[in-house]
Structure 1
Amino acid sequence: MVVPAQGIETLRFTLANLISIAPFLLVSIAVAAYAGASGADGLIARAFTGAPLVMIAVAALAGGLSPFCSCGVIPLIAALLAMGVPLSAVMAFWLASPVMDPSMFVLTSGVLGTQFALAKTLAGVGLGVFGGLVVLAVGAMGGLRDPLRAGVGNGGCGASKVRTVQPVVWAFWRDPARMGKFRAEAVKTTLFLAKWLTLAFMLESLMLAWVPADLIAQTLGGEGLAPIGIATLVGVPAYLNGYAALPLVGGLIGQGMAPGAGLAFLVAGGVTSLPAAITVWALVKREVFALYIAIALTGSLVSGLLFQLFLSL
């Protein structure tokens, strides 16, 4: 309303991008709704059994591929820790889960390309494995005992996914109750994604109009450690939401941001965004929180560097 000409252009830009991403949006909604209705999200419980190294690898894969929303991860983590699941496996899941899920993969492919989506998936799983191994090594030296803060509960409703493993009903449409859950999940996911993607495309339009491209290219473009390091640090306070960040990073890359810096921004922001970090701070002891932040930032930086190196080959 303040700048009518730009307002019209932003509206046109937002609608055009929403239409272009609609096929990917529909697939991502269907995947999320199917996982909830069929009970496939309950398979996550099976990731936390077995030998420590196997547990870490499976937990990282489960975190990278699971359809858990960000609001459901923290209660689940509290439940796992309270039930005595080793911190190494929980940390592997904890770090990988916010980075990628099936819906995010589809949308990332649509906005940034399949190569970037695969790189982000590998970064998430790799970060989980790396974090799990670090915690396992620290634990072997006698550290990180009793990670939960005093008085933290056992996860509430999020614990039910671990305590009671229900069979997966792949053909869920035969059950009216599960069909109702599918519809409810589809509506909830549609509203969630539509809200954040609309905001993201509006911000991208304003960014393209008002943020000088040469400033982006100078700060976050080019080769080397500096652009990726800056993007890793900036990703923590600047990160809005995993879905909203995709168009913003796409716009930044279009203005000269190094793809490796874009990946580092997405990974660091997803794992250590301020809302998630505040919740983690309230959940675990300070030494666990500090290790979580250090692993997340280190892994994000390495992921960005490796991706940039791969693209330069």
Structure 2
Amino acid sequence: MDMTDQTHPQPGPFVAAWQHLWRKERPWLAFAVILLVVSVIDPAQFGPSVAKVVNALVSIAPFLAVSILIAAWAGATGADNLIARAFTGAPAMMILMGALAGGLSPFCSCGVIPLIAALLAIGVPLAPVMAFWLASPLMDPSMFVLTAGVLGLEFAVAKTLIAIGMGVAGGGIVHLVIRAGGLANPLREGIGNGGCGGAKVRAPKPPVWAFWHDPARVTKFRQEGIKTFLFLLKWLSLAFLLESLMLAYLPAQLVTQTLGGTGLAPIAIATLVGVPAYFNGYAALPLIGTLMEQGMQAGAGMAFLIAGGVTSLPAAIAVWALVRFRVFALYIAISLGGAFASGLLFHFWTLL
């Protein structure tokens, strides 16, 4: 028999369904496996972890709803073309505006995720989006007031300036890399239609603002909304589940002991510890305040807050879900370098 005439056997329905599930729904599979392991190893933690996920999703529901509606509306009306083109005129200005909007907007690291997903999905250039992405989790109006109350006005003002500076620097780096020919097709397959500085300019079509008169556009509105909702739901659920386990099993005392000491070493340690730290921006303030009262230098505290804020677990997982590995690696490198540099600058500033 001529073996070259044989065709490869097709997988059975069960195998095909599993392959599809593994390709498209890995976050849900990971979510289910983690919960199963927790229920077997530590049943008492099962309830609190599920409650954490539900409460966190409820808390950001307004951000999710608004962002999903914006993304669906832009797709249905054709306004996404106008939005994308608005970010292709003056890269430097767009990067600056993205950083300013991020540093001054009332978005936390979780609330900004749906907005970022919508911006990238409709083709907004990656550089200004990265500027907004880096700056937004670090500061917002309520965070400023709380930081000033716990750590002092000088610390709050410095953190705001650092947030904007991080956004400008990160967006600038991404823009330069793109101009040098890097970061081509930065988004994962199925996420929008590009987002780099050289995003393709699509054929201009006039927007149809009253899209509800067109059944095809109404269908597109519904499909885009459901698609965006399901995508964000699975990744945010996994992120909040992992965050709940870090809260439960990683002792705060260990973090406290690691950040003690003097010199430049604590700044480096604070940067590295801050990246996987489970504290959100608000929860970290009392910890840093206590450490500074015990002799921890302000630079290390700043480095910890910057590194932890930019690379908080939900934000980092969202980056991983939206962009390819090289963009994610650059995001982490900018976060680490920016946090360490911020800590150093603030340390020397306090010595003046």
Return the TM-score normalized by structure 1.
Answer: 0.64
Equivalent residues in 2 for 1:84-95 (5 A)? 84-95=123-134
Structure 1 counterpart of 2:263: 223
The amino acid that maps onto 2:189 is A
2:171 & 2:181 partners in 1: Cα distance? 15
Shift of 1:274: 2.1
Kept after mapping to 1: 8 A contact 2:122/2:192: no
Q: CA offsets, 1:141-161, max 9 Å, x none?
A: 11112221112369xxxxxxx
Shift of 1:83: 2.1
Shift of 1:220: 3.2
The amino acid that maps onto 1:242 is G
Structure 2 counterpart of 1:66: 105
Shift of 1:255: 1.2
1:249 & 1:94 partners in 2: Cα distance? 24
1:310 & 1:70 partners in 2: Cα distance? 27
2:276 aligned with 1:234: no
Shift of 1:239: 3.3
Instruction: Provide closer, same or farther for how the CA distance between residues 153 and 130 of structure 1 changes in structure 2, counting only shifts above 3 A.
Output: same
Unaligned runs of 5+ in 1: 1-35, 37-44, 155-162, 164-205
1:124 & 1:146 partners in 2: Cα distance? 27
Structure 2 counterpart of 1:80: 119
Structure 2 counterpart of 1:294: 333
Structure 1 counterpart of 2:57: none
Unaligned runs of 5+ in 2: 1-65, 67-82, 194-206, 208-250
Tell me: higher relative CO, structure 1 or 2? Use CA pairs within 8 A at least 6 residues apart: 1
Superposition CA RMSD, Å: 3.2
Equivalent residues in 2 for 1:95-110 (5 A)? 95-110=134-149
2:299 aligned with 1:260: yes
Structure 1 counterpart of 2:96: 57
Instruction: Provide closer, same or farther for how the CA distance between residues 242 and 135 of structure 1 changes in structure 2, counting only shifts above 3 A.
Output: same
Q: CA offsets, 1:40-60, max 9 Å, x none?
A: xxxxx8995741111111110
Shift of 1:221: 3.2
1:250 & 1:279 partners in 2: Cα distance? 29
Instruction: Provide closer, same or farther for how the CA distance between residues 111 and 294 of structure 1 changes in structure 2, counting only shifts above 3 A.
Output: same
Once superposed, which parts of structure 1, at least 4 consecutive aligned residues long, lie more than 6 Å away? 210-213
Kept after mapping to 2: 8 A contact 1:104/1:243: yes
Q: CA offsets, 1:254-281, max 9 Å, x none?
A: 1111100000000000011222212211
Query: Counterpart of 1:106 in 2: which secondary structure?
Result: helix
Q: CA offsets, 1:64-102, max 9 Å, x none?
A: 000123333122112212222211111000000000011
2:163 & 2:333 partners in 1: Cα distance? 15
Q: CA offsets, 1:173-192, max 9 Å, x none?
A: xxxxxxxxxxxxxxxxxxxx
Larger radius of gyration, structure 1 or 2?
2
Kept after mapping to 2: 8 A contact 1:220/1:231: no
The aligned length equals 220
Structure 1 counterpart of 2:186: 147
Structure having the higher helix fraction is: 1
2:163 aligned with 1:124: yes
1:49 & 1:98 partners in 2: Cα distance? 24
Kept after mapping to 2: 8 A contact 1:105/1:117: yes
1:48 & 1:110 partners in 2: Cα distance? 37
